Amino acid sequence: MRTDQTRMRVLLAALAALALTLALAACGSSGDSTTSGSTESGSGAGTIQSNPDNGKVSLTIGSKNFPEQEILGEIYAQALAAAGYKVKSALNLGSETVALKAVKTGQISGYPEYASTALTSFFGLEPEEVPAEATEAWEKANEEFEKEGLQAFEPTPFASANAVGTTKETAEKYDLKTVSDLEGVSEELSLYGSPECPQRIDCKAGLEELYGLKFKSFTPVDIGLRYTVLEKGEADLSILFTTDPQLSAESDKFVILEDDKEVFPAGNIIFVTEKKVAEEAGPDYEETILKVQEGLDLKVMQELDARVELEKETPKAAAKAYLESAGYIG
Amino acid sequence: MASPLLLAAAGQVGGDFFKERESGTLPCQADESHLFCFDWAKENIDRYGTPTQQHLEIVLLSVVIGFAIAFALALFAHRSRWAQPPLLAATGVLYTIPSIAFFFLLLPVTGFGRDTAVIVLAAYTLQIIYRNTILGLANVPDSVKDAARGMGLTNRQILWKVELPLAIPEIIAGLRVAVVSTIAIATLVVFINAGGLGTQMYGSGNLTFPTSIIIAAAIVMAMALAFDLVLLTAQRLATPWRRVRPA
Amino acid sequence: MSTFPLASFGGAIEFIFTPQESNVTGGNKVGGFDKSLELVLKHLEVTALALAIAVIVALPLGLYLGHKGRGELFAVGFGNAGRAIPELAVIALVAVLIGVGLKTVAPALAILGIAPILVNTYVGVRQVDPAAVEAARGMGMSELAIIRKVELPLAVPTVMGGIRSAAIVILATATIAPLAGVESLGDFILNRNVYGENGLLAGAILVALLAMTIEGSLALLQRRLTSDGLKVKTA
């Protein structure tokens, strides 16, 4: 049975814990999902100017469920907020089909999509039909989007693609440099990828149909674990992204196989939105988005990815750093 | 190999934007095998503020609503005995359905976000609070009630002045379990975009970042401990006349 | 809050029984009875495995501590603490620190189940009438026999209550096991892009049904194991 003294001590400890929790809660600003618009007009020609007309428009910016997407979503969201819109973010929605549905049902105003994913996943193109040139790919995607009342804005400078990755040891053991080198070897190897991978032509379906490869096993894992499974030795092969920071920061551990049959087309980011949303939001909507993505070349995107995936910065902080460094926000 | 599709980039970021990163040397937080990165934790502790606040809000809302409903149901069933088995069964079913499944069952009705989270979490607390309230009320000795009736108290007065005070230990015991469970389960509301501390365990690279998972889990458990002990103290303060039975 | 695409319950039921067109082009059909059954079995597999581990670890420990009357603070405190452990953290930590797959996830889930079994076993044994224990000792029974033949049978309702609690929490957490590479009904729920909204609802329905079935079965088992003398009408 506790003595009164112990009881007091326990009560004090409990109050301390409670106080700590409340203090932590008080630390955070309320309403994390709302980005407040800044009305300062900074110096520099590139700075986004806040337009009071935009204040009547509410936008929700979405993104898919991996860090690069969340960074992009944050960049667009913060930029539009700086332009005076009322912006909410709904990042981490899921994969491309979920995100597209969210646009079509009005749950979000728009989200950043890769032109190659749009063409192969939404519109059923074969990888070889995906134009290699960024503007062409965008135009083709836009054509298809318009049939559904949607619109895609022009592309970012950088592009990203899926890639088959493995550890340096495995690559050396089986002498793997290109994906085709997997022929005859892949039956002994396990493949790990996102849950939608088996159905996508720029993922396992393409490896099976276009490279003619069969794997010992396929295990679906969350995209966030794509390097963990390689490191832990559970996966022989894993589906990675060409913009991943781990590829340069840990280049002694991981390597990607060259896509010699061009089954994994690279895609630039095009912002997908509904036509009527764009019309209601006014010209600043498209202009701001196009303006703020001008600085997103491959090096910059990789830097941002590194900050979030390696240094564990929040996408919000990384996006803010980019916007400030490039002078888009004051 | 598909050529990197580089358009003429404006290259607008400042030169100091790019950090020095040597291959092979990773900061503590990038290395998955590092269990806990103290320096990173010290610098980034404020990112847990908003999720903690969201978490608290959802928990408090759910428990208050759940308690109100369960308490009312228990008072009703205390008088109308026939209602007890069906109510117990109904609250039991709500408790058995795993919360994740429950969140998504409600999606077509209430969609993503906090509403769904609160509804499910409140439903989860119903069984324990209802059952403990009924039990607490039932455990009041008949002799006490007879004595009260003998003193001329009405049924309603007996309920509020005699039965309920004596039932407090049981009720609060149930409330404690409900609160602790809700605090833990509320981490799952990240899956329906309702925020909370689960956001620091899943998504945006957290899945491979033990430090963040551990910090968030520690906050959850500290919160649970704090509420548990505060309620325990309340329980003891509210019943000075008797030694408290263990929960 | 804009409308979520309404998936009908009818659509979910259909999903369980007949393969559907996938949301993702490629035209592969997903869902259907075979897949649903496969995932139900996988879900059961990891649940059963984890529950078994939890019982093997916690039951003897609880019996011993309860019999000796030692470690009340430990057992009860552990039980309270166990309720506060966030399941998502357990799964996530296991995935990144130890590895993905059944062999790591099952023990992790077992941890969640150990607390309720330990507490309830301890309390159940403590609540056994000391007179019965004394009588058995007087008859010359060994300590082990006392535990087996006197304390455990008398503690069955409480012990089973702990096992049922453990089963519920393990089954619930198995729903997010796909995050750590273990397939379960959670796949339908978490991978909306593959299985669609119908799959999502179907997964939720199946999990709920599975949970109620397991709970009901364990309740029946409890009734079978409870000796008649103990069968009181519990509230």
pLDDT, tens digit (0-9, with 9 covering 90-100), for A132-162:
889 999 999 999 999 999 999 999 999 999 9
Residue C71: CB atoms within 10 A of its CB come to: 17
Gyration radius of chain C's alpha carbons? 21
Residue A160 CA: distances (Å) to CA of A199, A236, B205, C24: 20, 22, 18, 20
pLDDT digits (tens, 9 = 90+) for C81-135: 888 999 999 998 888 888 888 888 999 999 999 999 999 999 888 888 888 888 8
pLDDT at A12 over 60: yes
Q: Distance between CA C62 and CA C65 in Å, rounded?
A: 5
Q: Tell whether C167 is covered by a domain.
A: yes
Return the amino acid letter for B178: A
For C103, the closest chain A residue by CA position comes to A234
Q: Tell whether C85 is covered by a domain.
A: yes
Residue A297 φ/ψ, nearest 5 degrees: -90, 180
Contact (CB, 8 A) for C173 and C90:
yes
Nearest to C180 by CA among C120, C97, C105: C105
Give the CATH architecture of domain A162-256.
Answer: 3-Layer(aba) Sandwich (3.40)
> CA of B24, closest CA in chain A: separation in Å?
5
Contact B201 C89 (CB under 8 A): yes
- Tell me the residues of chain A between 182 and 241 that have a Cβ less than 8 Å away from chain C: 192, 195-196, 198-201, 205, 219-222, 225, 228-229, 232, 234
pLDDT of residue A34: 42
Return the amino acid letter for C121: T
B210 touches C: beta carbon within 8 Å: yes
Instruction: Point out which residues pair with A255 in neighbouring strands.
Output: A166
CATH code of the domain covering residue C82: 1.10.3720.10
pLDDT digits (tens, 9 = 90+) for A154-192: 999 999 999 999 999 999 999 999 999 999 899 999 999
pLDDT digits (tens, 9 = 90+) for A205-251: 889 998 999 999 998 888 888 998 998 888 999 999 999 988 888 88
pLDDT at C195 over 90: no
User: Is the model more confident about B13 or about B232?
Assistant: B232
Which chains have 3+ CB pairs within 8 A of A? B, C
Residue C24: CB atoms within 10 A of its CB come to: 26
Q: Is C26 left (phi over 0), alpha (psi -120 to 50) or beta?
A: left
pLDDT of residue B3: 33
Classified by CATH at the fold level, domain A47-159+266-325 comes out as: D-Maltodextrin-Binding Protein; domain 2 (3.40.190)
* Number of compact structural domains in chain C: 1
Contact (CB, 8 A) for C167 and C55:
no
Contact B183 C84 (CB under 8 A): yes
Class of domain B37-238: mainly alpha
pLDDT digits (tens, 9 = 90+) for B15-43: 677 776 666 667 788 777 788 888 888 88
Q: How confident is the model at residue A99 (pLDDT cuts 50, 70, 90)?
A: confident
pLDDT of residue B21: 67
Q: Tell whether C224 is covered by a domain.
A: no
Contact (CB, 8 A) for B209 and A311:
no
Give residue limits of the domains in chain B: 37-238
pLDDT of residue A5: 53
A67 touches B: beta carbon within 8 Å: yes
Q: Which of C86, C168, C197 sits opposite B220 (nearest CB)?
A: C86
ipTM surpasses cut 0.90: no
Contact (CB, 8 A) for B203 and B190:
yes
Contact (CB, 8 A) for B104 and C189:
yes
Q: Which of A101, A196, A234 sits opposite C5 (nearest CB)?
A: A101
pLDDT digits (tens, 9 = 90+) for B185-217: 999 998 888 888 998 888 767 888 889 999 999
Residue in A125, A196, A238 to test binding to C, most C beta-carbons within 10 Å: A196
> What is the domain range of residue C141?
47-185
